[in-house]
Structure 1
Amino acid sequence: MYNFDVVTPKTVADAVAALGEEDAQALGGGQTLIPTLKQRLASPSKLVSLTGIDEIKGIRTDESGTLCIGGGTTHGTIAGEGSAYPALAALAGNIGDPAVRNRGTIGGSLANNDPSACYPAAVLASGATIVTNTREIAADDYFQGMFTTALEEAEIITEVRFPVPEKAYYQKFEQPASRFSLVGVFVAKYADGVRVAVTGASNDGVFRWTEAETALSSNFSADALDGLAASADDMIADMHGSAAYRAHLIGVLTKRAVAAAG
């Protein structure tokens, strides 16, 4: 590690002001950033902790039935209080271990956009809206590649709004050491169609499997996916699995997710 300053603002406005200073970086639960600092892959001179900002914490359901989760809400809270969206609550309850779930936040995960993180699949499959201190961003516009998002400098995720689907399920094949997704598939069925999002597999980060969406929108059953195969082009290949292996897992896990949701 190395020397840096830490500030702990109590409001979003104060956090934005602090992040406007040179070489400042936001700190949520620290589950990604702290290991990054230890490995000297990042070296900000000031960390702006968001953990003391109560206005970005908590879960509510608005008048339209949309589940609204503050960006500073921990995985453990979502797992315990997100019963309005059971598939999302189950996803949160299987992130990491208790220490990670009690520190990590949904906003921190989405801001980092790790290619193997679970929340990006849920957000993209749900057609959720990411709300920041300045604007609202549709999920389809938010994710822009591995570790890349539409967020601008000093922009903070204050809330994530999830339209609750008729049926949904998240199926994850874990990398056993880290419990990150080697491949994860989130399937969500709405009145106007089905959305399928895949994490952990692609070099471009989370993505929608549109061929599966078309098939499932006509027939929401695992049988509708017979004959479909995800392309292995640009899939991640590493010591844990080849590109072809990950592509195969996408099909297997999507079928399991549909069967479980149905």
Structure 2
Amino acid sequence: MKLLAIGDIHGRTIWKKIVAKERADRIIFLGDYFDSREDITCSEELRNFESILSFKEQFPEKVVLLFGNHDLHYIINEQYSGFRYSCQKAVQEIIHNALQKNLMQMCFSMHSFLFSHAGVTKTWYQSQFGEEYVQSDMVCDFVNKLFRKQPDAFRFTVGPNCDFSGDDITQPPTWVRPASLLADKLDGYIQIVGHTTQTNLAIIDQVAFADTLGTSGEYLTIEDELLQANVYSGQYSEFMYNTNHYTI
């Protein structure tokens, strides 16, 4: 089984070449399809997202579309950095249609791997589901049901750190930053996340930080417990897993 994780899209079309090259069994998009900071227009973002949705509809069991904070703020009463007021209505409509068709979700897990946009902390998870559910093997089922029922549960909220970038263990899987995730990550999983831009794909203490399409151009493949950071040119760095951490 080969898994492919692609970090924050933000309107980029390179995913088409990546999925054609890798021919993975499961392809997981880590969210943030909108709000480009590059020279990508709103119309181009919408067309690209339509292509991603069509890809999902063509391969419903193979493709997983996760939700990011730059997607969420178009369907709740909140605006984060990069919000495009000029295309708010069009983006809102296409996301609502995707949700009605059950094409998007907040969390995905397979074997020991847990995929979400920003990561799942014990503190946030317990606040929503209680202590007895922390060790459950149905983490993503619970998270996805909550998202369907109450998307506002995934909005930004100022926590004890009063950090307005989201660096707080109380933040949801759309917002938590790497330092807080590493300090309080949900036990029992190797988490794969995007959300926070990295110069290079980084794998630290059972968490892979893969928001690198706009920097190093890397994406992540997982096969036979081997996590491998790749770029489209075919170059790659290999990361091997042991019980404590990942090493190059």
Fold shared, TM-score > 0.5 on shorter chain? no
- Structure 2 length-normalised TM: 0.30
- Between 1 and 2, higher relative CO (CA 8 Å, sep ≥ 6) is seen in 2
- Structure 1 length-normalised TM: 0.29
